[in-house]
Structure 1
Amino acid sequence: MNVLLIGSGGREHALAWKIAASPVLTTLYCAPGNPGIASVAECVALDPADHDAIIAFCQQKSIDFVVVGPEAPLVAGITDDLRAAGITVFGPSKAAARLEGSKGFTKDLCAQFDIPTGKYQRFTQAEAARAYIRQEGVPIVVKADGLAAGKGVVVAFELQEALDAVDACFDGAFGGAGAEVVVEEYLEGEEASFFCLCDGKTALPFGTAQDHKRVGDGDTGANTGGMGAYSPAPVMTQAIIDLTMRDLIEPTMRGMTEIGAPFSGVLFAGLMITRNGPKLIEYNTRFGDPETQVLMLRLKDDLLLLLKAAADGVLDQMSVRWNDDPALTVVMAAKGYPAAPEKGSVIRGVAAAGDDENVEIFHAGTKDRNGELIANGGRVLNITASGKTVQDAQKAAYAAIAKIDWPEGFYRHDIGWRAIEREKAL
């Protein structure tokens, strides 16, 4: 099977690494890829936003299957264009990708189909949003409605912080994503990430993880796209998974079909596990980053066959097996992230860091410059390890980081702390 993977980040490197292990793979291409992906796939200089060029490449190279990694091409309708050209693709339609492309759309769907989530209101005018915030009080959550690369969310514990977040959205801090604002109830509990592969009819549970969104140790500082993750999430017991499937995933699948946008692809539920059970924080319509990195280390089955089954509508014939050992990933980011990451610095020692058989280094924001590895993004490397316990995986990841020579980079030192506290309490 000739496969094209679209994307260039750590999520795509992890997907490429796992797809490359499939015995049914003939050739794997990645557009545009990165230096890490180049070790397992042929990278091609294609812009994911240029749908015509992607289609022409697929026809030229006899691509049997396309896997779309990032959210922006999905929201822009790349899967619709590929399917119209007769090319099999994993990912939701443009209409279904609204679950991620518009937080307000998702909130409205939850209200229509009785899916547990926080109370909310949608606003297109700053003054109305500010009045609602004053009425409701803090803590409260302010979200840019559209895609903002994981940065358009402010969890405000001070009134002025919430008001400033509204102003930032309407003043253009997130471009068109902030033209509408969703203000919602602050939910108390423990966050978790839950994934399902979907084919429009069937939703197949596909693992759990916990992300670390705050930039600093101790869950302090600005929200980011994610500074690290581990899998499985201890809070996601089988009982919680069953509740999530019954009360959130299945009604969402039914609701999307009812409104004429059946969901196919990966449905990523960001959950808050409250005293009253799981509630939806948000949906993403692609694999998480950096959650994918830990999921791929734990997945026993052939990822390519699973994704193809979702695209072909035969997920009811599939099952998923996982390694029991937990996995953990630590994001190494460029100084200045998430506000203004510094690009262009040289990174050394990555090969040595990956020598441990339990460690994989996934490239997120790198490029090759005359044989040197260069930082070319905010989140730059994902140091990913497995172990018998989360603490073992954490030790392996940080031991690998110690071998990397990159003074211009930084990382959190406490990834996995919540799970490790649980292990110590047992």
Structure 2
Amino acid sequence: MFTFQDLTINKHILLAVSGGIAAYKSAELVRLLRKQGAEVRVVMTHSAMQFVSPLTFQALSGNPVHSELLDADAEHAMGHISLARWADALIIAPATANTLAKCSHGLADDLLSTLYLAATCPVYVAPAMNQAMWHKTVTQENIHKLKSHGVTVIGPEPGEQACGETGFGRMSEPAEICRCLLAEPGIRCLSGLKVLISAGPTREPLDPVRYLTNRSSGKMGYALANAALKAGAKVTLVSGPVALTAPDNVDLVNVETAAQMYTAVMSKAAEQDIYIGAAAVADYSPVMLEQQKIKKQSEQITLTLQKTRDILAEVAQLTPRPFTVGFAAETHDLEHYAQDKLARKNLDMIAANWVGRDIGGFDSEQNALQVFWKQGQKNLAMTTKNQLAEQLIRLIAERMELNKT
């Protein structure tokens, strides 16, 4: 099966670096691309050169760095045109808000923006900016415009930023960008398949202002939806309440309670090829929903809870049924509980992870998984949830193929 180490491909990659603090990551991107057999040429804006020296990129790429649109030494060969024609792919990383705005509106006042207009190869952008800038309506409009022009957007990721704030806007890690650039178009292990994914928490209301929930962020489920799309699948995402933006081209179904998630999943499961139950569905819900806010009066209060319906188990009982993958978040005895859940619910596969140990899981940008099936298992080491999702999707495809034989 496909792994990152398999990506030894003789490609011409044109890397355009714009002026942001994330420019330091682009040096590592050059190193990774060269390691995988790609030839890299680098273009820098004048602002980018304030963050990283052109000499750094020249040393890493083995080629001169280009920064001037009107270069007396190269203009006889129409340098910007020859660079654009040389490239098998153009990646702008980091792509600042200013660069995204110029490209989306067709401006061409420097070498980078002119190359974008002249490029006939696939174009990728890896945005990097402050979280408030990323969420600005005009920035999102520019992103949507670029996507409509056929540009592939990689990231950005949430997390701590150089300015001290936290949120979406961090440039994707170089390894993730490298993977996107060098992945062969033919490696679409779920091409033509239908994948149903449930993600996020559920909220079980107690009264008009309170509810029971859990710490699930939905990040793993959303990463799986994105990875399944990349693998060629048609994806339906049933999501509990999260602070995430769903990938483009998924069929998104928003729900709140466990009962709503059950209805949404069961209404679609029979027609799917794969179901991945990544949601943290409440095991219990209140028997009674108070119509008015519960007042603080007694020293103690008793809540009566009832079991919710087991979505994962009921999907696994369907005839015919999709290839069914469960998740298990455990605080102790992980393998025992995961193996028990695998057998008891008659699952095809279960992905288990530790929680409460400061090693990923809820709210984290990273995670690690121990994946079990009836006659085997595989450990997926700590990495970003995006990369982990791609590894799990490939493993699911592999197990499905083996099940056919």
TM-score by length of 1: 0.24
Q: Which has the higher contact order (CA 8 A, sep 6+)?
A: 1
Larger strand fraction of residues = 1
Give the structure-2-normalised TM-score.
Answer: 0.24
